[in-house]
Amino acid sequence: MAQYYTTMNLKSRFAPSPTGYLHLGNARTALFAWLAARSMNGTFILRLEDTDQQRSPDIYEKALLEDLQWFGIDWDEGPDRGGDHGPYRQMERLALYDAYYAQLRTAGQAYPCYCSADDLAAERAVQRSAGKAPRYGGRCRYLSAEARAAREAAGMRPTLRFHIPDQGTLSVPDLVWGERHYALADLGDFVIRRSDGSPAFFFANAIDDALMGVNLVLRGEDHLTNTPRQILILQALGLPVPDYGHLPLLLGADGQPLSKRHGATSLRDLQHRGYLPAAVFNYLARLGHHYSAMVQLQHWQHEAVQSLDDAAVWNWLAPHLQDKVPTGREMSFVAAARANIVLPADALDWAERCFATPVMAAEAAEAIIGVSPGFWSAAQTTLQAAGGDYRLWTKALQQASGQRGKALFMPLRAALTGLTHGPELAALLPLIGEARALTRLHAAAQRS
């Protein structure tokens, strides 16, 4: 592909319907289309397919632009910045389609259809009962001009259908799936304009790609069966046909397409949970690795956090901590805890363990049970004598108790943090403070 597109300008696009927050599957499609354009010095277009006006309130368009920008995806042409091939909202392009409808009707390649939803449902039921794939049988294909006029005089509002030949095969090359072959008889005459005058997806999507000069279309594999229909439309109109590549859908652990029952399904969900753009970028770009999706996402989130400096980590965490970290201790807290922070929830937990009362985990309680009272007494005495200095304290406690290694440090960690793992105690002790540490050591002595 690289060699081919060096001789021409690669132009890809992302064309979502703004009917909700940006789904992870669509975000992945946008990512690959954007990467293709950027890697080849090409052009990337954002186009909004907003013909479903009832489900496309302005709030979702605004959210879509915000989410793509948060994700790090930019575009060269789009609804917010214009370009040479606008407008970039489908509802603003309706007049452009009329000439192509007329061209198809004049050529006998489109015709009005007056079949009702009940008519079509009954036809599909008969086809299924006969073991056939449901498709439109062409009932209105050869209506006379008089029959059409009578129906319209009766107030019937027709759709417009594309006339597909009854015989023949269409070969469709696909950058992901290879060449696929479709029997034209299986496609059926399909609607290209709804009865309310709005364009059907097959039609507007294909026309817009051609008029905007899009030559690479990357989208989900759920569009595989749309592609032959769109190619037929473009060929009938003498318009250029882009290259198509259909990406595998994102699936949940149950093998079903990703949905809300699987947890976070939109970029906004992950953003609100504190995931960083770089983590989501790597996660979506690398799906298909043998690690589970969640393991991958957690890994790339950790990598993204660790790539930030302390000030950037704090700026990311601050809105989530709600004054849990005392003023002036922010950078010390980040430096101490950052290796153990993947999400803001982790930071909140460590802030509470440092500056409030930690919840004692079961394994920490077990680590305290059985430790001698003398150990806890010595721990408190030596901490006071060391003035809160961790190195002096642990050295003195080792001498006073005769304990070393895990036998020394595990009870201290359990008592001070309520956990048996975490950041270095040497970094945590100054945050916990001598007074709070003494209180926790005393409480541990009561437990053991």
- Annotated binding-site ranges: 260
Binding residues for ATP: 260
Among residues 257, 221, 205, the alpha carbon closest in space to that of 13 is found at 205
55: helix, strand or coil: helix
How many Å apart are CA 342 and CA 168, to the nearest integer?
A: 56
CB atoms within 10 A of CB 340: 16
At residue 167, φ and ψ (nearest 5 deg) are -130, 160
Please check whether residue 44 is in contact with residue 38, taking contact to mean a CB–CB distance below 8 angstroms: yes
Among residues 51, 44, 63, the alpha carbon closest in space to that of 92 is found at 51
At residue 323, φ and ψ (nearest 5 deg) are 60, 25
The dihedral built from the CA positions of residue 435, 440, 441 and 443, taken in this order, carries a sign that is positive
CB atoms within 10 A of CB 150: 13
Greatest alpha-carbon span in the chain = 108
Please check whether residue 40 is in contact with residue 67, taking contact to mean a CB–CB distance below 8 angstroms: no
Residues 6+ apart with CB under 8 A from 324: 348, 351, 352, 355, 356
391: helix, strand or coil: helix
How many Å apart are CA 124 and CA 293, to the nearest integer?
A: 39
